[in-house]
A and B are shown apart, each in its own frame.
Chain A
């Protein structure tokens, strides 16, 4: 694992705040995917992301942004969101970079899981299901398609 287990709660908390999905629904898969994905990056990027997560969760950073002497996980949901947003719109370019990196990482970790596609109305893979999904082979979705009518291959 790239991130120590004791940061799991922090990672889930960041994911919950950014994505708007309860931590219990993010689950182990979210943590595992973050670790797997980051682990595939170059060493210097792994180090950057580890530093970012640690800094983001720290009391010192929360104090600097919200004047509350608490860690990120100890904040109320409203303050957590305020804190994340304050990174995104900060005048300090580095914090905005951190915001973008965390949003991308969380977005990837949850939505790269095909099982979550259904929640978004995605109808699944087309392979082997070409006529049931919105492809040119499906008369339901493309009534004028010669492929759907079988006029072509």
Chain B
């Protein structure tokens, strides 16, 4: 059953076996797994309940409805913009569908550094298979690769780089290019159409437009979650609480509930920082249409860290907001958008041993943005480490080379100010650019790691249970102990599925 503000019966005291906060990858998988065993499950989702009829491809309508903070969430100094879904289905409702397994070497690193010997490739294999089947994960067929993705394959071949076609989770996708605004064709097999659907069919109830603001553990088998819908408080009493609000929101909720023993909640933020370049061609690229991210080229060094390249669909507003130059030339250049292609560079961060990032509530003076507040406000701090920075710039250089090798006439890297490059020989110049906050456009759609799973210093154990709070679980992107080095949806789903297999929430 789905409860919305319109259908809510005003019942303010609800008892359940399991209360899950958030309906993205972590929440949906948990809800499906536990409801199929017959437990009563309630999902509390702050975002709206949305279905294909809502997805009218209109950014002004949809961005405020589907993205946290109107898609303007960012680090305190605004130097990294962080895209986060806020809707039924979480970020999967707006994501770009790339569906990759966690690389073996990453799982081996987890075992070695964090003692997670239960998460080796031989343990996760069957979870990957099960998820891929449910989400209809398949390789994008050759005929469906858009021109702006094709350049990655062609360019990387010319430059002798490792490249491949990517799999995604779609069914009868027509390549309309609106993944970022929700799929109007129900082709994207996001959580709404898969694991949330399963959970609802098994009898779970989803409270949408409902914001959970406090968790109070009373005993191992009794927890109270307070939430608001339409400014009215609802109290959920549950045997188990599962926090699945994402790597940004889960630590904030735990902190505001005072569940911070161990001092690790909110630390170790990884982002897979992203930068980009836009290239102008003589032929039509139509970057605002097509299946996003159907090809990649990648480079990882022998430590397992490095970068990979992808080409998402470019919503008009994203092009307008992020085009890297300003002044009279800007609009004229944007008029060439249909003959332009954008390549993004994603970095597996943490190459220097750890990431320098944290999510927490803060009050008083914040020197990163000059803000003084008496009230506590959320704060995201992140600095790109030297080796990650090197990988970003190497990736940017490669993206530029790929564009020129495939016929681009001019390329603008997302630097401030952006040099207008006209020849492949200029690509290495990006390394001379000062790497300071807001001198290079950086983004992230992959926050991870802020409630690290670890046998040592971490927030949760291998079953997802908080080390200091029995009965409270965290199951979402925040438990991944390091950045995964691939788009993280499948990694999150598989890790959550495995955590449940290992502990079943101790029920």
Q: Which residues of A contact B (CB under 8 A)?
A: 17-21, 33, 37, 40-42, 44-45, 48, 81, 84-85, 88-89, 93-94, 96-97, 99-101, 103-104, 107-108, 110-114, 116-117, 119-123, 125-127, 130, 133-137, 141-142, 144-147, 152-153
Report 20 cross-chain contacts, Cβ distance below 8 Å, ordered by A residue: A18-B327, A37-B64, A44-B377, A93-B436, A97-B369, A100-B78, A103-B321, A107-B323, A111-B321, A112-B63, A119-B331, A120-B338, A121-B339, A122-B288, A122-B316, A133-B176, A136-B174, A136-B291, A141-B286, A142-B144
CB pair B316 A120 closer than 8 Å: yes
CB pair B329 A93 closer than 8 Å: no
For residue B193, CB closer than 8 A to chain A, the reply is no
For residue B330, CB closer than 8 A to chain A, the reply is yes
For residue B320, CB closer than 8 A to chain A, the reply is yes
| Distance to closest chain B CB from A105 (angstroms) | 8
When chains A and B are docked, how far (Å) is the Cα of A114 from the Cα of B371?
A: 34
When chains A and B are docked, how far (Å) is the Cα of A108 from the Cα of B322?
A: 9
Which residue on B lies nearest to A92, using beta carbons?
Answer: B370
Selected from B57, B78, B441, the residue in CB contact (under 8 A) with A125 is: B57
Which B residues lie within 8 Å of A42 (CB)? Answer: 69, 377
CB pair A104 B321 closer than 8 Å: yes
CB pair A21 B60 closer than 8 Å: no
Given A19-B331, A20-B327, A136-B173, answer yes or no on A99-B317 (Cβ-Cβ < 8 Å).
no
Q: Which residues between 371 and 388 of chain B lie within 8 Å of chain A, taking CB atoms?
A: 371, 373, 375, 377
Which A residues lie within 8 Å of B234 (CB)? Answer: none
Selected from A97, A120, A145, the residue in CB contact (under 8 A) with B334 is: A120
When chains A and B are docked, how far (Å) is the Cα of A146 from the Cα of B478?
A: 41
| Distance to closest chain A CB from B153 (angstroms) | 15
When chains A and B are docked, how far (Å) is the Cα of A48 from the Cα of B178?
A: 31
| Distance to closest chain B CB from A101 (angstroms) | 6
CB pair A127 B79 closer than 8 Å: no
User: What would 16 more interface pairs be, CB under 8 Å, given A40-B64, A103-B326, A126-B289?
Assistant: A18-B330, A20-B327, A41-B72, A48-B371, A84-B326, A89-B416, A93-B437, A100-B441, A104-B321, A108-B321, A110-B320, A137-B174, A141-B289, A144-B142, A144-B143, A147-B174
Which residue on B lies nearest to A21, using beta carbons?
Answer: B331
Which B residues lie within 8 Å of A116 (CB)? Answer: 316
The 9 A-B pairs with the shortest beta carbon distances in the complex, nearest first, are A111-B320, A121-B338, A96-B438, A107-B321, A144-B143, A134-B289, A126-B176, A120-B337, A20-B330
CB pair A17 B438 closer than 8 Å: no
Q: Which residues between 177 and 231 of chain B lie within 8 Å of chain A, taking CB atoms?
A: 177-178, 184
CB pair B69 A45 closer than 8 Å: yes
Which B residues lie within 8 Å of A99 (CB)? Answer: 416, 438
Which B residues lie within 8 Å of A85 (CB)? Answer: 326-327, 417
For residue B353, CB closer than 8 A to chain A, the reply is no
CB pair A114 B58 closer than 8 Å: yes
Which A residues lie within 8 Å of B322 (CB)? Answer: 104, 107
When chains A and B are docked, how far (Å) is the Cα of A35 from the Cα of B473?
A: 40
| Distance to closest chain A CB from B157 (angstroms) | 20
Interface flags for B354-375 (1: CB within 8 Å of A; 0: not) read: 0000000000000011110101
For residue B59, CB closer than 8 A to chain A, the reply is yes
Selected from B316, B336, B368, B377, the residue in CB contact (under 8 A) with A117 is: B316
When chains A and B are docked, how far (Å) is the Cα of A81 from the Cα of B338?
A: 27
Selected from A94, A112, A130, the residue in CB contact (under 8 A) with B369 is: A94
Q: Which residues of B contact A (CB under 8 A)?
A: 56-60, 63-64, 69-70, 72, 77-79, 81, 142-144, 172-178, 184, 284, 286, 288-291, 316-317, 319-323, 326-332, 334-339, 368-371, 373, 375, 377, 416-417, 436-439, 441
Given A120-B319, A152-B172, answer yes or no on A127-B56 (Cβ-Cβ < 8 Å).
yes
Selected from B56, B79, B184, B417, the residue in CB contact (under 8 A) with A88 is: B417
Which residue on A lies nearest to B75, using beta carbons?
Answer: A97
When chains A and B are docked, how far (Å) is the Cα of A42 from the Cα of B368?
A: 18
When chains A and B are docked, how far (Å) is the Cα of A44 from the Cα of B174?
A: 41
Which A residues lie within 8 Å of B63 (CB)? Answer: 112
When chains A and B are docked, how far (Å) is the Cα of A40 from the Cα of B370?
A: 22
Selected from B70, B175, B337, B439, the residue in CB contact (under 8 A) with A89 is: B439
CB pair B172 A153 closer than 8 Å: yes
Which residue on A lies nearest to B437, using beta carbons?
Answer: A93
Which A residues lie within 8 Å of B328 (CB)? Answer: 20, 81
| Distance to closest chain A CB from B62 (angstroms) | 10
Selected from B143, B174, B416, the residue in CB contact (under 8 A) with A135 is: B174
Which residue on A lies nearest to B65, using beta carbons?
Answer: A40
Which B residues lie within 8 Å of A107 (CB)? Answer: 317, 320-323
When chains A and B are docked, how far (Å) is the Cα of A66 from the Cα of B155?
A: 44
CB pair B184 A127 closer than 8 Å: yes
Which B residues lie within 8 Å of A120 (CB)? Answer: 316, 319, 334-335, 337-338
Which residue on B lies nearest to A94, using beta carbons?
Answer: B370
Selected from A45, A101, A122, A153, the residue in CB contact (under 8 A) with B338 is: A122
Which B residues lie within 8 Å of A45 (CB)? Answer: 69, 72
CB pair B323 A119 closer than 8 Å: no
Which B residues lie within 8 Å of A111 (CB)? Answer: 316-317, 319-321, 334
When chains A and B are docked, how far (Å) is the Cα of A93 from the Cα of B76?
A: 11
CB pair A97 B69 closer than 8 Å: no
CB pair B371 A44 closer than 8 Å: yes
Report which residue of B60, B144, B320 has the largest number of chain A beta carbons within 10 angstroms of its beta carbon: B320
CB pair A93 B321 closer than 8 Å: no
CB pair A19 B174 closer than 8 Å: no
Which A residues lie within 8 Å of B330 (CB)? Answer: 18-20
